[in-house]
Amino acid sequence: MVIKQVELQHVCGITSKLPDTGQVEVAFAGKSNVGKSSLINALMNRKSLARTSAQPGKTQTINFYNINEAMYLVDLPGYGYAKVSAKWGKLIEDYLHQSKMLHAVFLLIDIRHAPSNNDRIMYDWILRNGYQPIIIATKLDKIKRSQLQKQVKLIRETLEVEKDTI
């Protein structure tokens, strides 16, 4: 898909009503500071569409990016950061349960570490709700090439995923 137009169209906080976009939605989930915003910016070929920060827990809303008036990329708040997890967990859960147009969920995992318990919970939730999660291992540039296969195996084993999932 050639991206001609992308804009942040809806921002939903804990008191907001989730929009019924009427278009295909794909969501990006992952713990705080895993690189969701950086990946979104790279995919959209924009430097600062999604806010990035070295501080975990910066994205505290569900952000709906309209792409070419044809679909939405949905950036979910990061989970697993103690200061915001309790607040935003319900928001994420409500979106995942209520969206009528959600077609795919990308789960971002930091390749440098074993998936956390929160990663496991999110992965299992995605499966239980009929989605086939698409796992994206991030921060590859932070490990040695010789560690790659070991870390991919660790993710597969911890999440108990099918061999070709990552």
- Tell me the Cα Rg of the chain: 15
Cβ atoms within 10 Å of 65's Cβ, excluding its own: 21
Instruction: Please give the model's pTM, rounded to 2 decimal places.
Output: 0.88
Tell me if 43 sits within 8 A of 118, measured CB to CB: no
pLDDT in tens, 88-118: 677 888 888 889 999 999 999 999 999 999 8
Dihedral angle over CA of 106, 8, 63, 22, nearest 10: -80
